[in-house]
């Protein structure tokens, strides 16, 4: 350690530069002006509407109101429907679809016959072009008999609760154009939440 010589007056010591003190002024957050609030509300509403339209273009929600799809669906359950399922993929036998039955009602049924299929029901078994279907999801086997040839652009649909279902065996085919989408999950009530894989 070195010290300045004693014969040098303090006022002649070499000057050292010290950092200048920086003064900080706290910036208070600016409250939005009164004129900005309506614009923020409009922007929020537009964003919410755009988000709703995007979700509505992809998904639909259907409430089950009858027993025609027991035991797969129970009355009161809410089903999520993929509306793009057949925009980018093919319909398959066994799919559960939602379709417009009339102007005020949508139905939930299972696709049994595709265009060009011959559907026959006998001895409690469904045959597709002579081949029996294995249906593990049924509430009970059908007690009726019949044979149907599915035209182009049409579907033959049945409920899983075969003997308590109003479906193609009683009123005919469904137009492919009337199909809303494929049921993919139950989302309400929470204890019943589950996804549906294709059979």
Tally the C-alpha atoms within 13 A of residue 20's C-alpha that lie toward its C-beta: 3
Bridge-based pairing of strands 118-122 and 131-132 is unpaired
Q: Which residues contact 114 (CB under 8 A, 6 or more apart)?
A: 91, 93, 150, 155
Q: What's the Rg (C-alpha) of the chain?
A: 35
Q: Which of 23, 109, 129, 143 is catalytic?
A: 109
Q: Which of 88, 117, 109 is nearest to 178 (CA)?
A: 109
- For 191, the enclosing helix (H) or strand (E) is none
Closest by CA to 183, choosing from 105, 97, 123, is 97
Instruction: Give residues with Cβ within 8 angstroms of 122, minimum separation 6.
Output: 145
- Catalytic choice (33, 68, 165, 166): 68
Which DSSP symbol is given to 61? E
Whether 68 is catalytic is: yes
Which residue has tokens 């137009």?
Answer: 175
Total number of residues shown for the chain = 199
The set of catalytic residues is: 68, 109
């Amino acid at each position: 350690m070195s010290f300045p010589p004693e014969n040098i007056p303090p006022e002649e010591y070499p000057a050292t530069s010290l950092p200048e003190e920086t003064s900080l002024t706290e910036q208070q957050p600016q409250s939005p002006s009164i004129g900005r609030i309506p614009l923020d509300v409009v922007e929020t509403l537009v964003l919410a509407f755009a988000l709703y339209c995007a979700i509505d273009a992809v998904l639909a929600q259907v409430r089950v109101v009858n027993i025609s799809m027991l035991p797969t669906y129970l009355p009161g359950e809410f089903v999520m429907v993929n509306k793009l399922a057949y925009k980018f993929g093919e319909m398959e036998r066994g799919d559960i679809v939602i379709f417009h039955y009339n102007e005020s009602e949508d139905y939930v049924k299972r696709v049994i016959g595709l265009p060009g299929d011959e559907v026959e029901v006998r001895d409690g078994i469904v045959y597709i072009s002579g081949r029996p279907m294995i249906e593990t999801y049924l509430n009970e086997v059908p007690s009726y008999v019949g044979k149907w040839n599915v035209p182009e652009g049409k579907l033959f649909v049945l409920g899983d609760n075969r003997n308590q279902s109003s479906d193609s065996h009683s009123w005919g085919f469904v137009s492919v154009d009337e199909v809303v989408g494929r049921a993919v999950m139950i989302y309400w009530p929470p204890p019943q939440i589950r996804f549906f894989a294709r059979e």
